Amino acid sequence: MKISVKVPATTANLGPGFDCLGMALPIYNTITIEETVLPGTGIEINVIADTQEADELSLEHIPLDENSIVYKAVELLYNSIGQTPSELKITIHSQIPITRGLGSSASVIVGGLLAANELLGHPADEAALLSIATEVEGHPDNVTPAIIGGLVLASQEDDGSVLYRKLDWPDEWQITVCIPDYELATDIARSVLPKEVPMHDAIFNAQRLAMFVQAVNTKDTELMKAALHDKLHQPYRMKLVPGLEKIMENLKHEENVLGCVLSGAGPSILIISHKNGVDKIHSIVKETWADLNVKAEVKTLPIEKNGAQIIKQDN
Protein backbone atom coordinates (compact mmCIF):
# COMPACT_ATOMS: atom_id res chain seq x y z
CA MET A 1 0.00 0.00 0.00
CA LYS A 2 1.13 3.56 -0.74
CA ILE A 3 -0.19 6.66 1.06
CA SER A 4 0.47 10.30 0.12
CA VAL A 5 -0.25 13.26 2.40
CA LYS A 6 -0.25 16.91 1.32
CA VAL A 7 0.83 19.22 4.16
CA PRO A 8 0.69 23.04 4.19
CA ALA A 9 3.51 25.38 5.13
CA THR A 10 3.13 27.20 8.42
CA THR A 11 4.21 30.50 9.87
CA ALA A 12 4.71 30.66 13.62
CA ASN A 13 4.90 33.27 16.40
CA LEU A 14 3.19 36.09 14.42
CA GLY A 15 4.91 38.65 16.61
CA PRO A 16 3.92 38.15 20.25
CA GLY A 17 2.85 34.49 20.12
CA PHE A 18 6.29 32.94 20.63
CA ASP A 19 6.00 29.12 20.43
CA CYS A 20 2.21 29.22 20.71
CA LEU A 21 0.71 30.93 17.62
CA GLY A 22 0.81 29.37 14.17
CA MET A 23 -0.93 29.72 10.83
CA ALA A 24 -1.18 27.41 7.81
CA LEU A 25 -0.28 28.80 4.37
CA PRO A 26 -1.02 27.42 0.87
CA ILE A 27 2.47 26.15 0.00
CA TYR A 28 2.80 22.40 0.28
CA ASN A 29 5.05 19.41 0.82
CA THR A 30 3.80 15.97 -0.15
CA ILE A 31 5.04 12.98 1.81
CA THR A 32 4.46 9.47 0.47
CA ILE A 33 5.04 6.27 2.42
CA GLU A 34 5.03 2.93 0.68
CA GLU A 35 5.35 -0.53 2.14
CA THR A 36 8.02 -2.39 0.17
CA VAL A 37 7.78 -6.10 -0.40
CA LEU A 38 11.46 -6.97 -0.39
CA PRO A 39 12.56 -8.11 3.09
CA GLY A 40 15.71 -6.59 4.49
CA THR A 41 15.55 -3.40 2.40
CA GLY A 42 15.04 -1.27 5.52
CA ILE A 43 14.12 2.40 5.33
CA GLU A 44 14.58 4.30 2.07
CA ILE A 45 14.08 8.09 2.08
CA ASN A 46 14.07 10.19 -1.09
CA VAL A 47 13.68 13.95 -1.54
CA ILE A 48 12.30 15.50 -4.73
CA ALA A 49 12.33 19.30 -5.01
CA ASP A 50 10.99 21.67 -7.68
CA THR A 51 14.36 23.31 -8.33
CA GLN A 52 17.95 22.11 -8.27
CA GLU A 53 18.81 24.68 -5.60
CA ALA A 54 15.95 23.52 -3.40
CA ASP A 55 16.93 19.90 -4.00
CA GLU A 56 20.49 20.57 -2.84
CA LEU A 57 19.19 22.31 0.29
CA SER A 58 16.80 19.45 0.98
CA LEU A 59 19.56 16.89 0.69
CA GLU A 60 21.73 18.96 3.02
CA HIS A 61 19.12 19.48 5.73
CA ILE A 62 17.06 16.26 5.59
CA PRO A 63 19.01 13.13 6.60
CA LEU A 64 18.10 10.23 4.34
CA ASP A 65 18.31 7.51 7.00
CA GLU A 66 17.00 6.64 10.49
CA ASN A 67 18.23 10.05 11.72
CA SER A 68 15.61 11.83 9.62
CA ILE A 69 12.83 13.56 11.53
CA VAL A 70 10.25 11.93 9.28
CA TYR A 71 11.55 8.49 10.28
CA LYS A 72 11.67 9.46 13.97
CA ALA A 73 8.01 10.50 13.81
CA VAL A 74 7.01 7.29 12.04
CA GLU A 75 9.04 5.20 14.50
CA LEU A 76 7.36 6.84 17.52
CA LEU A 77 3.93 6.06 16.07
CA TYR A 78 4.84 2.43 15.41
CA ASN A 79 6.38 2.11 18.89
CA SER A 80 3.22 3.53 20.48
CA ILE A 81 1.34 0.41 19.31
CA GLY A 82 4.18 -1.98 20.11
CA GLN A 83 5.55 -2.28 16.57
CA THR A 84 8.76 -1.38 14.76
CA PRO A 85 8.77 0.04 11.21
CA SER A 86 10.46 -2.35 8.83
CA GLU A 87 10.55 -2.03 5.04
CA LEU A 88 9.29 1.43 4.14
CA LYS A 89 10.00 3.78 1.25
CA ILE A 90 9.45 7.46 2.15
CA THR A 91 9.39 10.13 -0.57
CA ILE A 92 9.32 13.85 0.24
CA HIS A 93 8.17 16.11 -2.60
CA SER A 94 9.45 19.46 -1.33
CA GLN A 95 7.85 22.77 -2.32
CA ILE A 96 8.13 24.56 1.03
CA PRO A 97 11.43 26.49 1.16
CA ILE A 98 13.95 24.90 3.54
CA THR A 99 15.35 26.86 6.53
CA ARG A 100 13.21 29.92 5.79
CA GLY A 101 10.87 29.92 8.81
CA LEU A 102 7.94 28.35 6.94
CA GLY A 103 7.54 25.07 8.79
CA SER A 104 9.28 22.73 6.35
CA SER A 105 10.37 20.37 9.14
CA ALA A 106 6.90 20.39 10.71
CA SER A 107 5.34 19.48 7.36
CA VAL A 108 7.63 16.47 6.97
CA ILE A 109 6.89 15.29 10.51
CA VAL A 110 3.14 15.68 10.06
CA GLY A 111 3.10 14.11 6.61
CA GLY A 112 5.07 11.08 7.78
CA LEU A 113 2.86 10.62 10.83
CA LEU A 114 -0.45 10.84 8.98
CA ALA A 115 0.71 8.55 6.19
CA ALA A 116 2.01 5.96 8.67
CA ASN A 117 -1.19 6.22 10.70
CA GLU A 118 -3.19 5.50 7.55
CA LEU A 119 -0.98 2.52 6.72
CA LEU A 120 -1.47 1.12 10.21
CA GLY A 121 -5.26 1.46 10.14
CA HIS A 122 -5.70 4.65 12.20
CA PRO A 123 -4.43 3.54 15.63
CA ALA A 124 -3.75 7.18 16.64
CA ASP A 125 -6.42 9.83 17.03
CA GLU A 126 -5.85 13.55 16.53
CA ALA A 127 -4.69 14.07 20.11
CA ALA A 128 -2.08 11.31 19.83
CA LEU A 129 -0.83 12.61 16.47
CA LEU A 130 -0.47 16.13 17.86
CA SER A 131 1.42 14.83 20.87
CA ILE A 132 3.86 12.75 18.80
CA ALA A 133 4.42 15.53 16.27
CA THR A 134 5.13 18.03 19.06
CA GLU A 135 7.52 15.60 20.75
CA VAL A 136 9.57 15.39 17.54
CA GLU A 137 9.34 19.09 16.63
CA GLY A 138 9.82 20.40 20.17
CA HIS A 139 6.93 22.88 20.22
CA PRO A 140 3.33 22.89 18.92
CA ASP A 141 3.16 26.19 17.01
CA ASN A 142 3.99 24.73 13.56
CA VAL A 143 2.79 21.13 13.75
CA THR A 144 -0.67 22.05 15.06
CA PRO A 145 -1.75 24.29 12.15
CA ALA A 146 -0.05 21.83 9.77
CA ILE A 147 -2.47 19.16 11.04
CA ILE A 148 -5.49 21.35 11.82
CA GLY A 149 -5.20 24.22 9.32
CA GLY A 150 -6.04 27.87 9.86
CA LEU A 151 -4.81 30.13 12.65
CA VAL A 152 -4.16 28.19 15.85
CA LEU A 153 -3.30 29.04 19.45
CA ALA A 154 -1.57 25.97 20.93
CA SER A 155 0.12 24.87 24.13
CA GLN A 156 2.02 21.70 25.03
CA GLU A 157 0.82 20.59 28.45
CA ASP A 158 2.92 18.91 31.17
CA ASP A 159 1.65 15.45 30.17
CA GLY A 160 2.75 15.96 26.55
CA SER A 161 -0.73 16.60 25.21
CA VAL A 162 -1.49 19.63 23.04
CA LEU A 163 -4.28 22.03 23.96
CA TYR A 164 -5.34 24.20 21.02
CA ARG A 165 -8.06 26.48 19.70
CA LYS A 166 -8.60 27.77 16.17
CA LEU A 167 -9.17 31.47 15.62
CA ASP A 168 -11.10 32.86 12.63
CA TRP A 169 -8.72 35.04 10.63
CA PRO A 170 -10.50 38.10 9.15
CA ASP A 171 -10.92 37.69 5.38
CA GLU A 172 -10.17 41.37 4.84
CA TRP A 173 -6.65 41.05 6.24
CA GLN A 174 -4.02 39.95 3.75
CA ILE A 175 -0.89 37.90 4.41
CA THR A 176 2.20 38.76 2.36
CA VAL A 177 5.08 36.31 2.70
CA CYS A 178 8.56 37.61 1.84
CA ILE A 179 11.14 34.84 1.34
CA PRO A 180 14.78 35.95 0.96
CA ASP A 181 17.34 33.92 -0.96
CA TYR A 182 19.42 33.07 2.11
CA GLU A 183 19.01 30.47 4.85
CA LEU A 184 18.71 30.78 8.61
CA ALA A 185 18.88 27.51 10.52
CA THR A 186 16.43 27.31 13.41
CA ASP A 187 19.10 26.20 15.88
CA ILE A 188 21.11 29.35 15.09
CA ALA A 189 18.03 31.54 15.47
CA ARG A 190 17.32 29.85 18.82
CA SER A 191 20.90 30.23 20.02
CA VAL A 192 20.71 34.04 20.13
CA LEU A 193 17.72 34.03 22.49
CA PRO A 194 18.39 34.68 26.19
CA LYS A 195 17.62 31.99 28.75
CA GLU A 196 15.86 34.59 30.91
CA VAL A 197 14.06 37.81 30.00
CA PRO A 198 13.16 40.89 32.06
CA MET A 199 9.77 40.79 33.75
CA HIS A 200 8.60 43.90 31.86
CA ASP A 201 9.33 42.17 28.53
CA ALA A 202 7.31 39.11 29.56
CA ILE A 203 4.43 41.38 30.65
CA PHE A 204 4.67 43.29 27.35
CA ASN A 205 4.25 40.08 25.34
CA ALA A 206 1.40 38.82 27.52
CA GLN A 207 -0.40 42.10 26.84
CA ARG A 208 0.27 41.93 23.10
CA LEU A 209 -0.85 38.30 22.78
CA ALA A 210 -4.13 39.15 24.54
CA MET A 211 -4.53 42.11 22.16
CA PHE A 212 -3.82 39.83 19.17
CA VAL A 213 -6.58 37.37 20.08
CA GLN A 214 -9.07 40.16 20.72
CA ALA A 215 -8.11 41.98 17.51
CA VAL A 216 -8.63 38.83 15.43
CA ASN A 217 -11.97 38.07 17.10
CA THR A 218 -13.28 41.61 16.64
CA LYS A 219 -11.42 42.53 13.39
CA ASP A 220 -9.99 45.54 15.23
CA THR A 221 -7.38 47.08 12.93
CA GLU A 222 -5.97 49.59 15.40
CA LEU A 223 -5.64 46.98 18.15
CA MET A 224 -3.89 44.63 15.74
CA LYS A 225 -1.32 47.29 14.88
CA ALA A 226 -0.41 47.45 18.58
CA ALA A 227 -0.60 43.66 19.03
CA LEU A 228 2.02 42.69 16.45
CA HIS A 229 4.96 43.93 18.52
CA ASP A 230 7.26 41.59 20.41
CA LYS A 231 10.12 41.71 22.93
CA LEU A 232 10.86 38.00 23.45
CA HIS A 233 12.48 36.93 20.17
CA GLN A 234 12.44 39.45 17.33
CA PRO A 235 14.82 42.03 18.88
CA TYR A 236 17.45 39.30 19.35
CA ARG A 237 16.99 37.83 15.87
CA MET A 238 16.98 41.16 14.05
CA LYS A 239 20.72 41.03 13.41
CA LEU A 240 20.37 37.60 11.77
CA VAL A 241 17.96 38.95 9.13
CA PRO A 242 19.66 41.65 7.03
CA GLY A 243 17.14 44.25 5.92
CA LEU A 244 14.41 43.39 8.41
CA GLU A 245 14.77 46.54 10.47
CA LYS A 246 14.85 48.70 7.32
CA ILE A 247 11.80 46.96 5.85
CA MET A 248 9.88 47.54 9.09
CA GLU A 249 10.90 51.20 9.02
CA ASN A 250 9.89 51.62 5.37
CA LEU A 251 6.49 50.02 5.98
CA LYS A 252 5.76 51.99 9.15
CA HIS A 253 4.05 54.87 7.35
CA GLU A 254 1.95 52.76 4.98
CA GLU A 255 -1.60 53.15 6.31
CA ASN A 256 -2.76 49.82 4.85
CA VAL A 257 -0.08 47.89 6.75
CA LEU A 258 -1.04 46.49 10.14
CA GLY A 259 2.39 45.11 10.94
CA CYS A 260 5.51 43.26 9.88
CA VAL A 261 6.83 40.22 11.79
CA LEU A 262 9.33 37.41 11.40
CA SER A 263 7.88 34.17 10.07
CA GLY A 264 8.86 31.62 12.68
CA ALA A 265 12.59 31.91 13.37
CA GLY A 266 13.10 33.72 10.05
CA PRO A 267 14.53 34.81 7.74
CA SER A 268 11.17 35.01 5.93
CA ILE A 269 9.02 37.99 6.84
CA LEU A 270 5.24 38.18 7.19
CA ILE A 271 3.37 41.41 6.47
CA ILE A 272 -0.26 41.79 7.51
CA SER A 273 -2.26 44.42 5.66
CA HIS A 274 -5.57 45.42 4.17
CA LYS A 275 -6.26 44.17 0.65
CA ASN A 276 -5.55 47.49 -1.02
CA GLY A 277 -1.94 48.57 -1.22
CA VAL A 278 -0.44 45.10 -1.67
CA ASP A 279 1.52 46.11 -4.78
CA LYS A 280 3.20 48.91 -2.82
CA ILE A 281 4.18 46.43 -0.11
CA HIS A 282 5.76 44.12 -2.68
CA SER A 283 7.83 46.93 -4.19
CA ILE A 284 9.00 48.27 -0.80
CA VAL A 285 10.21 44.84 0.31
CA LYS A 286 11.93 43.98 -2.97
CA GLU A 287 13.61 47.38 -3.28
CA THR A 288 14.81 47.38 0.33
CA TRP A 289 16.35 43.94 0.01
CA ALA A 290 17.74 44.74 -3.46
CA ASP A 291 19.78 47.55 -1.89
CA LEU A 292 21.46 44.81 0.19
CA ASN A 293 21.89 42.52 -2.85
CA VAL A 294 19.25 40.17 -1.47
CA LYS A 295 16.85 38.59 -3.92
CA ALA A 296 13.44 37.68 -2.59
CA GLU A 297 10.22 35.97 -3.52
CA VAL A 298 7.26 38.05 -2.34
CA LYS A 299 3.76 36.59 -2.55
CA THR A 300 0.41 37.54 -1.07
CA LEU A 301 -1.47 34.44 0.03
CA PRO A 302 -4.77 33.49 1.64
CA ILE A 303 -4.67 31.56 4.89
CA GLU A 304 -4.91 27.79 4.35
CA LYS A 305 -8.00 26.80 6.30
CA ASN A 306 -7.45 23.06 5.90
CA GLY A 307 -4.68 21.07 7.45
CA ALA A 308 -2.87 18.04 6.05
CA GLN A 309 -4.87 16.03 3.53
CA ILE A 310 -4.51 12.41 2.40
CA ILE A 311 -4.48 12.75 -1.38
CA LYS A 312 -3.71 9.26 -2.68
CA GLN A 313 -4.14 5.69 -1.58
CA ASP A 314 -2.98 2.70 -3.63
CA ASN A 315 -3.74 -0.84 -2.59
Q: pLDDT tens digit string along 159-175?
A: 999 999 999 999 999 99
Mean pLDDT for 60-86 is 80
Dihedral (Cα; 98, 142, 85, 34), 10-degree rounding: -60
Enclosing domain of residue 13:
2-167+303-314
Q: How confident is the model at residue 277 (pLDDT cuts 50, 70, 90)?
A: confident
Between strands 173-180 and 269-274, the pairing is antiparallel
More confident residue, 65 or 186: 186
More confident residue, 49 or 293: 293
pLDDT of residue 52: 52
Mean pLDDT for 189-200 is 94
pLDDT of residue 23: 98
User: Can you give the CATH number for the domain in which 29 is found?
Assistant: 3.30.230.10
More confident residue, 218 or 186: 218
**Cα dihedral across residues 26, 262, 61, 183: positive or negative:** positive
What does the angle CA 278 – CA 51 – CA 284 come to, to the nearest 5 degrees?
Answer: 20
Mean pLDDT for 87-100 is 90
pLDDT at 62 over 90: no
Mean pLDDT for 103-118 is 95
User: Are residues 198 and 156 both part of a single domain?
Assistant: no
The H or E element containing residue 28 is strand 17-35
Mean pLDDT for 190-209 is 96
pLDDT at 65 over 90: no
Helices 104-119 and 126-137: angle between axes, nearest 10 degrees = 140
User: Are residues 66 and 154 both part of a single domain?
Assistant: yes
Q: How confident is the model at residue 147 (pLDDT cuts 50, 70, 90)?
A: very high
- What is the tally of structural domains in the chain? 2
Alpha-carbon distance of 192 to 237, in angstroms, equals: 7
Percent of the chain with pLDDT over 90: 77
User: Are residues 154 and 182 both part of a single domain?
Assistant: no
User: Are residues 118 and 183 both part of a single domain?
Assistant: no
Q: How confident is the model at residue 84 (pLDDT cuts 50, 70, 90)?
A: confident
The DSSP string of 269-303 is: EEEEEESTTHHHHHHHHHHHHHTTT--EEEEEE--
Could you tell me where the beta strands, DSSP code E, fall in 95-203?
151-156, 162-167, 173-180
Neighbours of 276 (CB within 10 A): 10
User: Are residues 177 and 97 both part of a single domain?
Assistant: no
More confident residue, 94 or 151: 151
User: Are residues 256 and 128 both part of a single domain?
Assistant: no
Alpha-carbon distance of 45 to 188, in angstroms, equals: 26
User: Are residues 152 and 266 both part of a single domain?
Assistant: no
* Phi/psi-derived region of residue 111, left when phi > 0, alpha when psi is between -120 and 50, beta in every other case: alpha
Dihedral (Cα; 121, 107, 132, 2), 10-degree rounding: 20
Model confidence over 35-59: pLDDT tens digits?
A: 876 655 567 888 887 755 554 444 4
User: Are residues 133 and 178 both part of a single domain?
Assistant: no
Mean pLDDT over each residue of the chain, to the nearest integer: 91
Largest CA distance in the chain: 64
pLDDT of residue 64: 59
Using only the alpha carbons of the chain, give its radius of gyration.
20
User: Can you give the CATH number for the domain in which 191 is found?
Assistant: 3.30.70.890
Specify the pTM.
Answer: 0.91
pLDDT of residue 59: 46
pLDDT at 10 over 60: yes
User: Are residues 178 and 147 both part of a single domain?
Assistant: no
Q: How confident is the model at residue 186 (pLDDT cuts 50, 70, 90)?
A: confident
User: Are residues 112 and 183 both part of a single domain?
Assistant: no
Q: Is 64 helix (H, G, I), strand (E, B) or coil?
A: coil
pLDDT of residue 55: 45
User: Are residues 161 and 21 both part of a single domain?
Assistant: yes
The H or E element containing residue 201 is helix 199-218
User: Are residues 228 and 297 both part of a single domain?
Assistant: yes
Q: Is 26 helix (H, G, I), strand (E, B) or coil?
A: strand
Task: Tell me if the bond preceding 194 is cis, omega within 30° of 0.
Answer: no
Mean pLDDT for 235-256 is 92
Q: Taking Cα atoms as reference points, which of 108, 102, 127, 129 lies closest to residue 118?
A: 129
